[in-house]
A and B are shown apart, each in its own frame.
Chain A
Amino acid sequence: MIAQDEKIGVYVCHCGTNISGTVDVSAVAEYARTLPGVAIVREYKYMCSEPGQDLIRKDIEELNLTRVVVSSCSPLMHEVTFRKACNDAGLNGFLFQMSNIREQCSWVHDDRERATAKAKQLLAAAVLRVGQQVAMEERIVPVRPETLVIGAGIAGIEAAVRLADAGRKVYLVERLPSIGGHMAQFDKTFPTLDCAACILTPKMVSVGQHPNIELLTYSEVEAITGYVGNFRVRVRRRATSIDPTKCVGCGLCWEKCAVKKVPSEFDAGMSMRTAIYVPFAQAVPNKPVIDREHCLHFTRGKCGICQKTCPADAIDFDIQDEILDLEVGAIIVATGFTLFDAGELARYGYGRLDNVLTALQFERLSHASGPTGGEILTKSGERPGAVAILHCIGSRDENHLKYCSRVCCMYSLKFAHLVREKTHAEVYNFYIDMRAFGKGYEEFYRRVMSEGVHFIRGKAAEVSTVAETPEEEGKLIVVGEDTLLGVTRRIPVDMVILASGMRPAEGTEKLARILSLGCTRDGFYLEKHVKLAPVDSPSDGIFLAGACTGPKDIPDAVAQGAAAAAGALSLIDKGRVIIEPITSEINPEVCAGCQLCIMTCPYTAIHFDSERNVSVITEELCKGCGTCVAGCPSGAARQKSYEDSQIYAEIEGVLA
């Protein structure tokens, strides 16, 4: 029900042709005139423009509007704009409601008649809802100065160092025993052929030594509550079984470890590691962890040789996982990517045929500290005479990754160069399109072409060992169409490198749930705006950097890490943030003192007043999450701005 003396102003936006192209805006405006309490209806080409906002301001002043509805785009886009316009004209911004007839209507429909009908329903919902809204004052809350960075690959490292250099405290959480991410595994980097370790290691060291960075490796974020400026983070530090205050990283323990056949994750399975290990020589922190899945002490209850060997007495099998509760003002998510599993494409023989390698395996093979000391050798220890590099493994594939993984063309060129340089082997690159779009990339492509690499335009169809000619005997035969020549090629080689694409890192979805982040269809995190806010998440105070939002090369990941740090810093330096005054309250007239809400409140903001036999919310502690409202069976707990009456009014509007 809308009170009789209400005067609601309704403004329907054309958004150029974004809305009016599909929705009959005039019909929607005409319909709005029939809704209860509506005093004025206007349509305008761009409501968000200055003249558009002026319409609202003028009407509020001249017609004494009591409430305002704008039917336009998503509130994420312009709620703040219009709320401010209302405030400017003296109308409390919370007496404003937006109905989204662009993202939720015109952009997703093409049937003009039905889209118009839907726009009317959405508008009716907003009008009925706004009639139930109440004026509120925004709250200003302080922002904590600490930042949480999740993921210590190059993007996370960059973000952490930038913030730490600015004098801000950073908690850097990394799931693996060492920071460095994928970049630490790489040999050279395109297009400059810098050694990855040479440019990364100093950064890693500075992270390890930085007084403002608290490094939490072998740790995972388990839960996050709170809101911009005031997040509470629960981190699980997995038990390393090593006392870091005693360990000096001498390495005696892993030399003596009885378990020696665990495939090394860092070497992409190209070498074996021990059960107590550091993943690689330059690891930060350079202290081992015990992999309890393989350690004999944990699997069979015996051994303990490392403990006996350790001169510092640093090994403690009884160390348990530790739960840390942190408070931070901002969060930067930089969880990176994982390689597409080339085993999903059985036709290329990965996992089935020897000498078929993934890109990361080749990086390790070519790396000076890799399993062969940087020599490119086949499994039998010989230099290959011919090597094929297959682009777009998994990428640009309707059945797998629909997108281009952005880095594979360039690293494939880098591989071609390295193979030529180190072995003089013939190199065949099977590519669909060559994407060399970054700074110096096209030049690098020309350089590699001039080095005698063969480029075959066409996606390889299969890798076979069935020889058809004597020359193919004992070789890997790459079969594929050369679309420039229009013939099928069979190329016998000694080694095949699969340029696997990038997909979201394992655990991306879980973290999305913890942080309430959205994901694209491909599983990468969704930015607030893909062009204008690429490192902002839709949630205030949470930033995104690096490959967690989609495939990135190193320069882009670094740029994003720095940009995210700037975002966090501008928030922290301001020191306070305006948040919506949406808190919950318990109506003592209704509350029966069942106390179920107290158990659900993540902020311990509710206590039981035994004298009055009711539960009471302390407003200063309430973050307005609404959990108690959902959990209150009697309807005594209510969330401002999400009152039952408001939501029912909205539903009734949709059904009107």
Chain B
Amino acid sequence: MSKPKVAFYWCASCGGCEETVVDLAEDILKVVDAVDIALWPVALDFKKKDVEAWAPGEVTVAFINGSVRLSEQLEWVRLLREKCPIVVAFGACAHLGGIPGLANATTRERILENKYFNAPTLDNPDGLQPLTACTVYGCDLELPEFWKDVKPLDEVIEVDYYLPGCPPPAKTVMSAVTAILEGTLPPKGAVLSPAKALCEACPLNNTKPETLSISEFKRVATSTPDPGQCFLAQGYICMGPATRAGCGERCIRANMPCRGCFGPAPGARDIGGKMLGALGSLGAADTEETSMVLADTLVDLVGTLYRFNLPASLLKRQYTSGTGVPPVM
């Protein structure tokens, strides 16, 4: 019997998820023993027509990382969806929009304007802007369309499983692959990680004081947390209570409060809103004035509370009137 085939594909991502696959280290050999890699653009050269030539079901599973913003990405993920019985959203960007998703805090127009007209390192005397089609030396060239916002994978195609994390830890990748091989996958639509929030596994959870009251929000950019005490109790916004566990508490152990890359805990739909609700209950302020002083120490709320999931949150994106925007799908 031939080995099952898997595909890896990337959309709007940094390459960190690809790195995770490499991080499997010797385990990668087990994977390669067990499966054939049919597509892996980061490492091997494939063309779209190769994929188009696959028979349906020939490749069992597509691991797709990165969020979706370009028309080309849509074409590719649709193609992979068509060909593969199982699609796994791999990593925070495909799962929830990820760091590129923070671009939804601004508009397409402002991004293009900054990039092509305002950037300090820019030299663009002719005021060139990207076009989806142009003719150069008599040749017609095409570029993908840049959409008005960033989308998580499941907004454009049906997704069977999610591997959370930025990037997903090698351990969870390995267990996902094993589950696929052994046919022990949970029900479709599941996030392949424990159904609890991070505090459950956090080594600092038992250092949480009986009453936790925050009089000033601190940032790791300007001060260093005490590694021996619950970060929230110290006034650092640790997303752990709102974030799904399963990451191996890598950040916590490196003295970094949880940044929320595993996305909302299973009971929560909107991680930022939930966390803000919790912070609101913990603030040591009982008058409007002291509340305002405390609130002033909350810097970059969207970037902090929705760092990895703005496109999948209830906020979703900056409001735009919708005119002059290319069709979404």
Name A's B-contacting residues (CB within 8 A).
587, 589-596, 599-600, 613, 627, 630-636, 638, 644, 648
Contacts and interface: CB of A to CB of B under 8 A. Distances in A.
A592 B277 contact: no
28 contacts: A590-B195, A590-B196, A590-B197, A590-B267, A591-B196, A592-B196, A592-B200, A592-B245, A594-B240, A595-B199, A596-B232, A630-B277, A630-B280, A631-B278, A633-B197, A633-B265, A633-B268, A633-B277, A633-B278, A634-B199, A634-B241, A634-B265, A635-B265, A635-B267, A635-B268, A635-B269, A636-B265, A638-B267
A635 B265 CA distance: 7
B74 interface: no
B311 interface: no
A592 B197 contact: yes
Residue from A587, A591, A632, A638 having most chain B Cβ neighbours under 10 A: A632
Contacts of A636: 197, 265, 267
Contacts, number: 91
B97 interface: no
Contact of B275 (A593, A599, A633): A633
Given A592-B198, A594-B241, A635-B274, A630 B281 contact: yes
A632 B280 CA distance: 11
Given A595-B208, A596-B282, A599-B211, A634 B268 contact: yes
Residue from B211, B277, B278, B282 having most chain A Cβ neighbours under 10 A: B278
A594 B278 CA distance: 11
A171 B232 CA distance: 41
B227 to A, nearest CB: 19
B247 interface: no
Given A592-B241, A633-B241, A627 B281 contact: yes
B205 interface: yes
A110 to B, nearest CB: 28
Nearest to B244: A634
Contact of B195 (A589, A595, A600): A589
B266 interface: yes
A588 to B, nearest CB: 10
Contacts of B282: 596, 599-600, 631
A644 B197 contact: no
Contacts of A596: 212, 232, 241, 278, 281-282
A544 B269 CA distance: 41
Given A594-B199, A594-B205, A596-B282, A634 B269 contact: no
Nearest to B265: A634
Nearest to B198: A592
Residue from B199, B211, B275 having most chain A Cβ neighbours under 10 A: B199
Interface string B13-25: 0000000000000
Given A590-B267, A593-B205, A594-B241, A634 B197 contact: yes
Interface string B267-293: 111010011011011100000000000
B70 interface: no
A550 B130 CA distance: 66
Interface in B177-229: 195-200, 205, 208, 210-213
Contacts of A633: 197, 241-242, 265, 268, 271, 274-275, 277-278
Contacts of B211: 599
A644 B281 CA distance: 19
Contacts of A590: 195-197, 265-267
Given A599-B282, A630-B280, A634-B241, A593 B199 contact: yes
B208 A632 contact: no
A633 to B, nearest CB: 4
A631 B240 contact: no
Given A590-B266, A599-B211, A634 B277 contact: no
A646 to B, nearest CB: 13
Contacts of B240: 594
A228 B236 CA distance: 39
B264 interface: yes
Contact of A644 (B199, B265, B269, B275): B269
A48 to B, nearest CB: 36
Contacts of A631: 277-278, 280-282
B268 A592 contact: no
Contacts of A648: 269
Contacts of B278: 596, 630-633
Given A590-B267, A592-B241, A593-B205, A600 B281 contact: yes
Contacts of A592: 196-200, 241, 245, 265
A96 to B, nearest CB: 26
Contacts of A627: 281
Contacts of B266: 590, 634-635
